[in-house]
Amino acid sequence: MIEQMEALLELVHVSFSAQNQEIVRNISWTYAEGKTTAIVGPSGGGKSTMLKLSAGLLVPSQGEVNFRGKNISQMNRRENLEFRKEGAVVFQDSALWANQTIRQILELPLQVHAPEMSPDERLGRVWEVLRTVGYRKEIGIRPAMLSMGEQKLVAFARALMCQPRLLFLDEWTESLDDRSAQRLLGLVRERKAWGHTIIFVSHDLHIIRDLADQALVISGGELYMVLTESQIKYDDNLSCFLEKEIAP
Which pLDDT band holds residue 1 (cuts at 50, 70, 90)? Answer: very low
- Count of the separate structural domains present in the chain: 1
231: CB partners within 8 A, 6+ apart: 215, 237, 238
Mean pLDDT, residues 99-105 taken together? 98
| pLDDT category of residue 66 using cuts at 50, 70 and 90 | very high
Instruction: Give domain status of residue 67, yes or no.
Output: yes
In a domain, 107, yes or no: no
Residue 166 has pLDDT above 90, yes or no: yes
C-beta of residue 65 within 8 angstroms of C-beta of residue 27: no
Residue 118 domain flag:
no
pLDDT value for 6: 72
- The pTM (predicted TM-score) of the whole model is 0.92
* Residue 86, domain member (yes or no): yes
**pLDDT band at residue 3 under the 50/70/90 scheme:** very low
Query: Is residue 236 a part of any domain in this protein?
Result: yes
**Statement: residue 2 has pLDDT above 60:** no
Please check whether residue 64 lies inside any domain of the structure.
Answer: yes
Task: For the chain, state the CA radius of gyration.
Answer: 18
| Torsion angles phi and psi, residue 190, rounded to 5 | -60, -45
Q: Is 113 a member of any domain? A: no
Question: What pLDDT is recorded for position 41?
Answer: 86
Segment 141-145 shows an average pLDDT of 97
Of residues 234 and 28, which shows the higher confidence score?
28
Count Cβ atoms within 10 A of the Cβ of residue 50 and give its class: 0-12 exposed, 13-18 middle, 19 or more buried. Answer: buried
Q: Is residue 132 part of a domain?
A: no
pLDDT in tens, 109-134: 999 999 999 999 999 999 999 999 99
For residue 190, the enclosing domain spans: 7-97+165-243
Identify the CA nearest to 10 among candidates 227, 218, 199: 199
Least confident of 102-106, 141-145, 242-246: 242-246
CATH number of the structural domain spanning residue 56: 3.40.50.300
pLDDT of the residue at 5: 56
